[in-house]
Structure 1
Amino acid sequence: MNIKTLTVSEVTNYIKRMLDNDFILNNLSVKGEISNLKYHSSGHIYFSLKDDNGKVNCVMFKGNAVFLDFVLEEGMEVIVKGRASIYPATGSFQLYCDEIKKEGQGELFIKFEKLKQKLSKMGYFDEDHKKILPKYPQRIGVVTSPTGAAIRDIINVSTRRSSLVDIVLYPAKVQGIDAYKEVIEGIKYFNNNKSVDIIIVGRGGGSIEELWNFNEEELAKAIYVSKIPIISAVGHEIDYTISDFVADVRAATPSQGAEIAVPLSKDIEQKVCDISKALEINIDNKLKSCKNELSNAERILKIHSPITRIANSYLEIDNLRNRLNFLMKIKVEKEKKQLENLNNLLLAYNPVKVISKGYAIIQDDEKNLITSKEQLENPINLEISVKDGKAEGKFIPLKHIK
């Protein structure tokens, strides 16, 4: 039997015709959980519909999307009505959705919300706990896949912004079973070595399943207890993970994470220039202040100069000496005058002077002065002092003295 060789286009078109002619596949109603959701700028909506055992790509064109009365979200459980076919250009099987009805929230979304509420109550999201990023880091640690787009974006943005910052990569899996454990090890590594100023944890975009490692409670705890500030840069702008809420700063993309962490070289140069100018002004003001203080001190020193005080003291000493001499002279004159008066008084009462006038001093043997006639009633030895000497003798009264 001869089998005709077909081109790829012939095969895909053949499969498409078979699917398009199948009644069931053209009238499908499929229940599943939304993931990898993307609202395109054209108005079309692209997403995946999955359950525990399978996944199928879906598209709802703008003509049907405008009639949706709610916004599709990651993890949302929905019922899709439409048809199954393939897109010949890529050969991919997908559902073309005509209607979408909300069925409920998916298991992963519910799990995400429960953990979010739990960690929020435990204070993991509190602003008071979040650390401030250093303005001018020297080294930035990055925990991500060494082969992913995230590290390339971070390196490109960092080097474009500044050549003064070093990027240190800790290679880790960011997708797959237990990948979060490697991310935790990276955070612990940088904290133990204290070799970086900021840590960026992240990866590129993906579905909720692909990003789920960043929704693990253990990773949230590692981010929470880190002593080094952490930027969570997971997925695209529409993607939110538990890591984003726990981290000190959330970046919408890895590129934005690098922009937040790395300051622009021109900003650093401007800051250095501003600091230099401020320092120059402060030094100039300080020098002027010191000169003024020195001038004031010199003026005060002149006023209170020891030389001036000594010179003034000489004048005071001269004045005191003159005053002392004056007072001493007055004192001497006064004392001299008083001495003359006392001398005159002494001369006036001097016994010798009295004797020279014819008087005598009479004393008995015991040197008692004879001042009364009663002392001469009986014979008595006497000593008589006159002007030019003394005479001794015995006095015998001749008659009774009256």
Structure 2
Amino acid sequence: MQIKILSVSELNNYIKRTIDNDFILNNIRVQGEISNLKYHSSGHIYFSLKDEGSKINCIMFRSNAEAFNILLKDGRKVEVKGRVSVYHRDGSYQIYCNSISDIGLGELYEKFNLLKEKLSKKGFFDIEAKKSLPLYPFKIGVVTSPTGAAVKDIINVITRRNPSIELLIYPALVQGDGSVASLIKGIKVLDSRDDIDIIIIARGGGSIEELWSFNSEELAEAIYNANKPIVSGVGHETDFTICDFVADIRAATPSQAAEISAVSLESLIDSISMDKEKITSLALRRIEDENYNLILLERLLENFNPMNIIIHKYEEIALLKDTLNKNINMAITNNFEQIKALIQLLEAHNPLNVLKKGYSIIFQKDKLINSVAAFKFNESTEIIFKDGKVEGLIVPTEEERK
């Protein structure tokens, strides 16, 4: 018997009818852990149910979600009721959920929280342990998959922001067996190089199990013990891993990790230009201020110039000289008047002036003879007249001898 050749649409529709007619698949109850949860703007809820070995996609339409009061979160363990059907366009099957019951926290999230609490107590997340990023890195090392979208985003962002920064990509496994050891080795290799300024550890988004390698205690220790600052750009904005908490800086995405690590050359040039203008303005203002201060000092120096003091002293000396001359002249005049008065007084009492009236003065032995009794004959006698003097002996007459 020849089997009919089917188109893809016919095959998918056949599989869909087969599954839709299965009683068990139309009344299914499944337990698992939620991951990749998304509340769509249409009101539908999209997520995956997983266990340790497998996962299946699920959807709850808005008509059922509106009556559902539990707020779902990644990592929660739930039980869903519904049916399994095929989305014939993509050929994928999924669970169409009618109701969801919350069971508790998923196993992976329990492990995540336990490790987070353990490392937090050891100080792995302390702010004091975080290293600052260099402002102007010259070379950035990246630990990531060489074929993923993350490395392309990092290269594009850094090339756009600052093409002068060198990139060194360490190709590492970011998922599955051997990925933890690969990531640790990448960090240690880049950390040992003297030319690396910053290390980025990055991976694109995914479910908690796909990001589980970044929740390794060994990887956390390697990041914590690294000497170079490490930026974590793992997953999407809503994804959090142990790597994010222990890294020096957590970026929401690989692209943001690149933006944080690489300063924009354009903004750097603008900043330098602004600093140049600011420095120029400050320098000109300083020059103006110093010039003004110099003028004040020159005026002050001029006021205290020794020549000015000497000139003022010359003026003071001239004033003192004039005062002294006036005082001297006044003293001379006063003394002259006093002398004149004394001369007049002396003249008035000068006995020689009497001689002008016909009188004379007699001295014997330098003794003024002012009486007859004092006069002696035959002794040297000096007679002073108004116009001179005569000396001689005066002898008594005969009558006077008698």
TM-score by length of structure 2 reads 0.70
Structure 2 equivalent of residue 172 of structure 1: 172
Aligned match of 1:183: 183
In the alignment, is the contact (CA less than 8 A) between 1:178 and 1:213 conserved in 2?
A: no
Residue of structure 2 equivalent to 1:41 = 41
Who is 2:113 aligned against?
113
| In structure 2, distance between residues paired with 1:46 and 1:256 | 26
| 1:20-63 residue CA offsets vs partner (Å, 9 max, x unmatched) | 11111111111111123233333222222122333222111222
Tell me if structure 2 keeps the 8 A contact 1:60–1:97. Answer: yes
> What letter corresponds to residue 237 of structure 1 in structure 2?
E
**Cα deviation, residue 244, structure 1:** 0.8
Q: Distance in 1 between matches of 2:134 and 2:68?
A: 46
RMSD after superposition: 2.7
> Aligned partner of 1:92: which letter?
S
Q: Which residue of 2 aligns with 1:207?
A: 207
* Paired residues for 1:186-265 under 5 Å: 186-265=186-265
Task: Write the mapping of 1:77-156 to structure 2, written as runs, cut at 5 A.
Answer: 77-156=77-156
Matches within 5 A, 1:2-401: 2-281=2-281
Change (3 A) 1:274 1:185: same
CA distances 1:294-351 after superposition (whole Å, capped 9, x unpaired): 9969x98xx899xxxxxxxxxxxxxxxxxxxxxxxxxxxxxxxxxxxxxxxxxxxxxx
- Contact 2:158–2:258, Cα closer than 8 Å, also in 1: yes
The residue that corresponds to 2:383 in the other structure is none
Structure 1 stretch 193-202 or stretch 35-44: which is displaced more? Answer: 35-44
Identity among equivalent pairs (%): 54
- Matched to 1:80, the amino acid is V
Q: Is the 8 A contact 1:37 1:207 kept in 2?
A: no
Q: Please give the alpha-carbon distance, in whole angstroms, between the structure 2 residues aligned to 1:231 and 1:269.
A: 24
- In the alignment, which residue of structure 2 is the partner of 1:394? none
In the other structure, the counterpart of 1:400 is: none
Q: Spell out, residue by residue over 1:192-230, the C-alpha distance to the aligned partner (whole angstroms, 9 max, x if none).
A: 112222211111001111100000011111111222211
Mapped partners of 1:157, 1:67: distance in 2: 44
Query: Is residue 173–residue 179 contact of structure 1 (8 Å, CA) maintained in 2?
Result: yes
Q: Deviations over 1:268-305 (max 9, x none)?
A: 012211332344356556767887689969x98xx899
Distance 2:285 2:209 in 1: 63
Q: Distance in 2 between matches of 1:185 and 1:252?
A: 24
- Alignment gaps of 5+ in structure 1: 306-402
Conserved 8 A contact 1:37-1:73: yes
- 3-state SS of 1:82 partner: strand
One-letter identity of the residue aligned with 1:274: M
Secondary structure of the 1:193 match is: coil
Q: Partner letter of residue 16 of structure 1?
A: K
Count residues with an aligned counterpart.
308
Deviations 1:342-383 (A, max 9, x none): xxxxxxxxxxxxxxxxxxxxxxxxxxxxxxxxxxxxxxxxxx
CA distance in 2, matches of 1:219, 1:52: 22
**What CA distance in whole angstroms lies between the structure 2 residues aligned with 1:194 and 1:41?**
49
- Please give the secondary structure, in 1, of the residue aligned with 2:192: helix
TM-score (norm 1): 0.70
Letter in structure 2 aligned against 1:127: I
Q: Do 2:180 and 2:214's aligned partners in 1 also have CA atoms closer than 8 Å?
A: yes
Q: Aligned equivalents of 1:43 and 1:136: distance in 2?
A: 46
Does the 8 Å contact 1:48/1:55 carry over to 2?
Answer: yes
Maintained 8 Å contact 2:191/2:199 = no
More off after superposition, 59-68 vs 179-188: 59-68
Separation in 2, partners of 1:264, 1:245: 26
Whole-angstrom CA distance in 2 between matches of 1:111 and 1:43 = 31
Determine helix, strand or coil for the equivalent of 1:190.
helix
